[in-house]
């Protein structure tokens, strides 16, 4: 009887070891299958990312252009606001005697004076040109006569 128990005891560990081997084989096959599944999922995700990258790049470039456009618009608005404030200071300093002249106001007044002087100079120049053209295109004035007079004056000198 002892021998039978021993045989049974010896047979049982063999069965357990066979079962353990089967159990060990199953996780390996499932881990291989899960590895393949993970690889497929990763490949699909990489393909999706590769497909989305050009669209994202285009979207980023468009956003950069919009930001640059907004910066330009803000700069224009800032310049306009500075011009308006300068004009306001000039007008208020001319109307309000209690407002002292600041550096900005003094510079603005000087700029306006320079522009007025340049305008007067240009008006005078245009007036002179108009007078000269009237003299040239009069019917009674002949270019030949003017040239002859100039030449005659040079000869007589």
> What are 51-70's pLDDT values in tens digits?
888 888 898 999 999 999 99
Measured CA to CA, the distance from residue 26 to residue 33 in angstroms comes to 11
Residue 135 has pLDDT above 70, yes or no: yes
- Lowest-confidence pick of 37-41, 54-58, 87-91: 87-91
Measured CA to CA, the distance from residue 148 to residue 32 in angstroms comes to 113
Tokens 């390996």 map to which residue? 28
pLDDT at 23: 47
The alpha carbon of residue 38 and the mean position of all alpha carbons in its chain are separated, in whole angstroms, by 42
3-state secondary structure of 141: coil
* Cβ-based neighbours of 6, under 8 Å, separated by 6 or more: none
Residue 154 has pLDDT above 80, yes or no: no
Provide the mean pLDDT of the chain: 76
């Amino acid at each position: 009887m002892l021998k039978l128990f021993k045989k049974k005891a010896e047979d049982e560990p063999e069965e357990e070891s066979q079962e353990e081997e089967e159990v060990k084989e199953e996780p390996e096959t499932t881990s291989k299958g899960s590895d393949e599944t993970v690889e497929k999922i990763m490949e699909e995700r990489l393909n999706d990312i590769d497909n989305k990258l050009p669209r994202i790049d285009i979207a980023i470039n468009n956003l950069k252009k919009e930001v640059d456009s907004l910066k330009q618009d803000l700069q224009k608005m800032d310049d306009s606001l500075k011009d308006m404030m300068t004009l306001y200071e000039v007008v208020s300093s001319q109307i309000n005697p209690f407002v002292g002249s600041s550096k900005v106001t003094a510079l603005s007044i000087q700029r306006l004076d320079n522009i007025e002087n340049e305008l007067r100079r240009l008006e005078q120049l245009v007036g002179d040109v108009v007078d000269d053209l009237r003299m040239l295109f009069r019917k009674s004035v002949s270019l030949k006569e003017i040239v002859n007079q100039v030449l005659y004056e040079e000869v007589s000198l």
